[in-house]
Chain A
Amino acid sequence: MLDQKNFDPAAYVAAAAPAVGLTLDAQRQARVAAALALVARVGAAALNRPVPESAEPAAMFRP
């Protein structure tokens, strides 16, 4: 799912912040973009893992 080559965390943060009501100055925006890049880097192992159509989301979980 994640296109790491073309995903631009800085551009994404700038575009998405107003969607949840956040106003970020340039310095803060850069730090948040760095944090997002880390989330994307660690999360890639999940985002790039194919799942079968039958896999249900586990929002509330019963082990």
Chain B
Amino acid sequence: MSATHNTRAALAHIATHDGEVNAFTDILTERALAQAAKVDAAGMTGPLAGMPFAAKNLFDLKGNPTRAGSKIRRTAAPASTDAALVARLEAAGMVCVGALNMDEFAYGFTTENSHDGPTHNPHDLSRIAGGSSGGSAACVAAGMVPVSLGTDTNGSIRVPASLCGIFGLKPTYGRLPRTGATLFVAALDHVGPFARDVTMLAAVYDALQGPDAADPAQIPMPVALTMPGLEQGITGMRIATLGGWFDGPQTPAARAAVAAVAQALGSSGTAIWEDAESTRAAAFLSTSSEGAGFRLPELLTMLEEFEPLTQDRLLAGALLPAAWIFHAQRVRAVGQASMRALLADWDILIAPATPTPATPIGQDMLEMEGVTMPLRPSMGLYTQPISAIGLPVLTVPLQNAQGVLPIGVQLIGRPWQEATLFRAARLLEQAGLCVAPVAPAFATPAFPG
């Protein structure tokens, strides 16, 4: 199939279905068809050539204002160039068809965006898609595009991947360049891809790797391709399930999903990371403070234009004592050290991605196992401690975990060992346990697979 054919098919699928899902904030027809024509004219080949994708609307797309889900950036000047990850995918022959809905400035786990409207979960349109990269997960789950880009500060790739039932990769902190992506919390921000199958995710991740001198936060590591070893299996790997904090309040669906993945991967025990709660708390403090600090000039002058769900949280974050943040950074370092010691014994750790499948849009509180907690921050209970110390995580989906709703499980690895996670995910996919077909209501996808 030509790039032009694929692109037209994706655009038609989006036109038919995005009214229900609200994954897209911008559909870039002209740009997409021009890129597709270029790919076709060049006769590009390879696993990604001619495949459409879309990007969370905090990635710069040349000629488009980068809004990061906000109202206050709607009148921003158009981006002068593409974000690094977008440019890399297009260099591999992919075609960007649009920008995707998200929580404002990536502060949230639900994509209930008051400016652009909520993104609806393709498995049940009355429920959230997760966030903050909710549009990124929903458009892939609904079969509009085979691949999307998102970001993850505290769980914003893993939470929507879980709730929408697709694969999502949060690489090691510093692995992929953030150039041209609007930052939320620089010390915690990661970028990464979503897809419905492991091979496609691996091909995309491999295309995204490589140094970028323009990103001061990228850590110079050699490219570590995942495709060559994808089918090697997990023989010899030591795999455990995280207990303690990660065995906290969650639905039966979350528990069953972790147990099923643990069994399929031959998990040989339970590992306890004693610093999980304090590390999560440190990330919560840093996020509150840094997220607000980035936006303080605008909070002072345009407060009412911010997302109503986050105005008060941002203001509170702007006031945190410096001593809290300094201490939080030291707690983070302590948590990193204790996890590093734990990972000396294990190649992969298994944990829930979200404590629950998707909840109804507008729900404020979550009750699980006798514990009631605010829903929005609690979606990141089990993702936040892991991103706080920058470990790579591949979220794998289990379908029909609670009725029609899917849920995800985190495969957590050592720093820079993404390839290990891909091998395990591929095995789970081949076993039929972790697969991500298009959500049934959208079952004639632009791109089967």
Contact = CB atoms under 8 A, between A and B. Distances in A.
Interface stretch (B7-15, B141-149, B330-338, B424-432): B330-338
Contacts of B336: 58, 61, 63
B234 interface: no
A58 B187 contact: yes
A46 B281 contact: yes
Which of B173, B334, B336 has the most chain A CB atoms inside 10 A of its CB?
A: B334
Contact of A28 (B312, B319, B329): B312
A32 B312 contact: yes
Contacts of B281: 42-47, 49
A4 to B, nearest CB: 13
Residues of A in contact with B, size category: 35 or more
A49 B331 contact: yes
B390 A63 contact: yes
Contacts of B390: 61-63
Contact of A63 (B173, B278, B316): B173
Nearest to B313: A35
Contacts of A39: 284-285, 288, 313, 316-317, 320
Interface in B372-397: 374, 377, 389-391
A36 B316 contact: yes
Interface in A30-63: 31-36, 38-39, 42-47, 49, 51-52, 55-63
B333 A63 contact: no
Given A56-B330, A60-B217, A63-B174, A35 B278 contact: no
Interface of A: 1-2, 12-13, 16-17, 19-22, 24, 28, 31-36, 38-39, 42-47, 49, 51-52, 55-63
12 contacts: A21-B300, A28-B315, A42-B284, A47-B324, A49-B278, A51-B331, A58-B330, A58-B333, A58-B336, A61-B187, A61-B332, A63-B174
